[in-house]
Amino acid sequence: PGFSKMLASLGDIYVDDAFGAAHRAHASVEGVTKYLPAYAGFLMESEINSL
């Protein structure tokens, strides 16, 4: 939790554009979403629409 919070302190929002890593429960992928508003990016949207 501490590392996620520290990463979140460096920004205002979190945009995940890495479809291949979205399922990972890492501090830099999942943890920061507990402290910042989180959104999917344009590339993520494109990948999801291609499914």
Query: Looking at residue 13, what is its pLDDT?
Result: 98
pTM of the model: 0.81
pLDDT 10s digits, 1-51: 899 999 999 999 999 999 999 899 999 999 999 999 999 999 999 999 999
Q: What b/e sequence results for 11-48 when a residue is b if at least 16 CB atoms lie within 10 Å of its CB, and e otherwise?
A: eeebebeebeeeeeeebebbbbeebbeeeeeeebeebe
Query: Looking at residue 1, what is its pLDDT?
Result: 80
Query: Looking at residue 47, what is its pLDDT?
Result: 94
CB atoms within 10 A of CB 10: 8
- CA nearest to 3, candidates 22, 26, 27, 33: 27
Query: Looking at residue 32, what is its pLDDT?
Result: 96
